[in-house]
A and B are shown apart, each in its own frame.
Chain A
């Protein structure tokens, strides 16, 4: 039961990160290795604000906005000039991730830091006692994901995004500007990752290398679910989320080995079913 409830909460937060990653790939064909950095920027910005004595809610909003802004800057300054060179984008975004890591380490050092919880105390769900911050994180993440999915499927804006994802040239013909859509999607994806960073900051720890795990997990989810498939992403998030908690609870030193399990999942998927659960056939 422990694993089930915790797994569900973790899945929701992981899905928040993976959703943005998947959208950016689906829409812009961009594999953004700096996606995990948005998660980190969100967490650290919220932390920096709360250090100055700002109310927690304000800090949280600042965290999300900072991540969004970082997304816009990344798109404008780095990705746009080299957008159609897949390998260059990979290398450049990885370089950005390292740059951010180096900057965070410079300003905050390598020590672990933590944000105070938005709520404190514990709550019992289905006989499982949980920290309230975790529950809050899971619920906020869930609501956000549902909102994003609704926007994507039910609104004209969402239709525009899906049009670009399906066929960039054709969408241009009907009056959509793919460049603009890519920018928006990257900014929103960055904001979602930043939100995930803010939400987990009270119970996770902030370190300069915290970008790596969400990035690998997002990557694993997107590969598992199929690149560019939104339902696949959500489904795979649940799988990876439960796996994450299962390993953390049942394996010795599980917390450290979570990353390894993720990697194993990726490799197995790549060998057995390269297009993922629900993905289109890999190019």
Chain B
């Protein structure tokens, strides 16, 4: 059957994930899946108003219900020493203030999940309700410059220069509220081992961050907080910080003196662990008649909470993506009676790129230029924001490869000109970018007498395949077969690893693994070179190679590492090393880039949009693991399909509450929404950023993609939809 043939050769042929077997057999244990004797279950009671105060809490019925061990609210909560004036964020069970709908106001702890769930319904809370504001659109007049000094207005050359341009465009774009919704519900098991010592099994993307956050909140020595996160069932940013429910579980465990498991329900995933903020944007673009950009203006107004400010780099991409002498940005926030937003995959840039990349498409049509040609006419060879060279940039090659794959030049560029199988056909493209970083990280590497290499670091993996990549880096760096190499993660007691966010894990941790393996090699060689009867006696490190567990000076002069350890009578030799970038990095602008091409079908009567073909290209330096990298790109595109066509968190502003806070009403893409996706890698090492030459790709996989779909819908229909998601009603209602 031809239709069933498998066609992604690089995925099939490459080395598989090192944790794959655990994941397909159910052996992988996520946060809530660690059995502990005497475990209790916590269920949160959420506020049913968006703003006001708690008038009373009657917990008697709940306390007397079978199996209930404690009901905790602001009335009886153990004091949290870290909830001082400096604490930033929601203080759980701290006072009677209600700051958003769904705020945790009480915790019921019982000896079974069912008993806790039932007792939670018996807690009666009354409120003094104030009028709440949750509509950004109705409160645009209250938009303010953020307190964050990095978010001030930016001007290069002349502000609003687009207004004087020969050809110009000014349009508004909307990114609705999006929710991460990883498949694993946020969960924690809190277990106090002593009054000042706690162990948690937690869903977190940052093991050391969570350790630090808990130790600060409860004023504990950091080493008295152990955080375990061996498997994390997706995050996309939602597990980048410590949330109130985690503190609530710690309180429940403290109060009852027993381990407490707390798992959020899907509705709480919309209100308690952040979201991508609703953002209104205005783009102004100006160009000469022959297509040279003369002005870029990007304005954004986003929602945040009243109790904590959240900002993201929404307008940054417009400062450096294209060569243009005049560029300016303005970023504003509206405080709402909502929970605080947080970083969500491609934070800032995913929102901003939608406006910029749609506007580029619109202006290209105004100029009668191919959108790809228009981009190439304004290609930035150096960073327009600071004049620095890029550490590496092959975006031009990415454009070319993507265009070839999708058949870009075979299309008729005229809008609403193509049809097949009764459907309107459209092609669209866009590009994306995200900063590439190299943070500091520490890893340890241990070579054992049996010839196996064990590398460790306190990092968690929410899905990209960190252990798989690290095994590949370690085995290549050390010159040993991957089957003899393992990577241990998921425990704060290990050497401090980076937080898995900002597409920075492979760069930071990979460098630490690379450098640590190098140091271990040097140490082993030093031992061998000091042995008088060794064939490597007095050899130089520069002259030897490490291959298949041997140290070689030449084919005949070599020492097996296992023999070396036996001779020295040691079970293993280990090195722990911190690794970070040098000052050289400051001389460069470091970014990853992506290009997305999409083909859509639009139903001429119903306006339903189907994505039928995608080619996505990553320029993110050297690819460490092609199999997992392809997965990242495919996943980013899938998220982008949701952003473009279906995802939108909707509030009923009368009550300040979500009305689609579940997976039946908040539409994430399903199998039927996602076609075959071609992933292409430039795979050229970045010579500057780190020893591997690898840059991040988690964010760029998504950034820009929604614009490719919006541009394809325009090409198919002649209709510009500037407010996401592009639902059938918008397609039908729009004018050509």
A and B associate in one complex: no
Interface residues of B (CB under 8 A from A): none
